[in-house]
């Protein structure tokens, strides 16, 4: 299944923190223009990196505790977790090429 998996407070630990391998979490909201702009890029990357990186998304309006817990002040915020810890973070819209560089660097760590 390519494409981001919606996670919430009850599934975050199992789907993100205890996941095997890197997990990208897209903190977003439906009313956020830049979030809507980056969504198709995230969809494409989820297909390209299927089996290498898990892609998830957290709606900050529905999960304010998670957003607060990870210091999300602006959206979209993309955080890459590995072994339960945040290792990379990008705030705001970024072009696909820049996100690919970030993901490739995570895979070589």
CA angle 10, 75, 64 (to 5 degrees): 30
The residues assigned a catalytic role are 32, 35
Between CA 102 and CA 31 the distance in angstroms is: 26
Q: How many CA atoms lie within 13 A of 61 on its CB side?
A: 6
């Amino acid at each position: 299944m390519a494409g981001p998996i919606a996670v919430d407070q009850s599934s975050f630990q199992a789907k993100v923190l205890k996941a095997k391998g890197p997990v990208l979490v897209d903190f977003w909201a439906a009313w956020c223009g830049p979030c809507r702009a980056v969504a198709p890029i995230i969809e494409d990357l989820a297909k390209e990196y299927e089996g290498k990186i898990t892609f998830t998304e957290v709606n900050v309006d529905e999960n304010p505790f998670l957003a607060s817990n990870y210091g999300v002040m602006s959206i979209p915020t993309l955080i890459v977790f590995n072994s339960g810890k945040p290792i990379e973070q990008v705030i705001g819209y970024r072009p696909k090429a820049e996100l690919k560089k970030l993901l490739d660097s995570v895979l070589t760590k």
